[in-house]
């Protein structure tokens, strides 16, 4: 059974870069698309972006200037970087899987437990 685990610092200072990893266990990273989603009280659930099985990133236009995603198949891990963070980026960050059985399926059948990231000095 595939499991996802987010990891990274829980506290980031304003204007710095938020870096998170998602480790996949129990399955191959190469067969699916991998997604970052965040959840805050202010904005609810927000799709951040994906790294698809073809190696192509796709980022929410509202975050495109600050977000990059990548994948390390040797570690079965994919990553998120969000630059120039502000308090508005405080949220629970989830990684998830898009089965990608028909290109991009745009539904997420496996989720990590989430990691809370707080932006504060």
Partner 1 sequence: QSALTQPASVSGSPGQSITISCTGTSSNIGFYNLVSWYQQHPGKAPKLMIYEATKWPSGVSNRFSGSKSGNTASLTISGLQAEDEAHYYCSSYAGGGTMLFGGGTKVTVL
* Contacting residue, 61, 65, 74, 121, with partner 1 by CB under 8 A: 61
Q: Residue 16, interface with partner 1 (CB under 8 A)?
A: no
Closest CA to 121 of 12, 2, 19, 10: 12
Closest CA to 38 of 55, 62, 73, 14: 62
Closest CA to 116 of 89, 80, 84, 78: 89
Q: Which is nearer to partner 1, 10 or 44 (CB)?
A: 44
Q: Residue 93, interface with partner 1 (CB under 8 A)?
A: no
Please tell me the distance from the alpha carbon of residue 37 to that of residue 61, in angstroms, as a whole number.
Answer: 14
Q: Residue 60, interface with partner 1 (CB under 8 A)?
A: yes
* Contacting residue, 11, 45, 87, 88, with partner 1 by CB under 8 A: 45
* Site residues for partner 1 per CB under 8 A: 44-47, 58, 60-61, 94, 104-109, 111-114
């Amino acid at each position: 059974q595939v499991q996802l685990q987010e990891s990274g610092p829980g506290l980031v200072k304003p204007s710095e870069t938020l870096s998170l990893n998602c480790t996949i266990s129990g399955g191959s990273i190469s067969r699916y698309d991998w997604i970052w989603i965040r959840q805050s009280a202010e904005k609810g659930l927000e799709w951040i972006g994906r790294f698809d099985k073809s190696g192509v990133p796709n980022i929410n236009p509202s975050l495109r200037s600050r977000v990059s995603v990548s994948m390390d198949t040797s570690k079965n891990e994919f990553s998120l970087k969000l630059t120039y963070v502000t308090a508005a980026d405080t949220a629970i960050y989830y990684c998830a899987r898009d089965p990608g059985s028909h290109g991009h399926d745009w539904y997420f059948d496996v989720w990590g437990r989430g990691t809370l990231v707080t932006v504060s000095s």
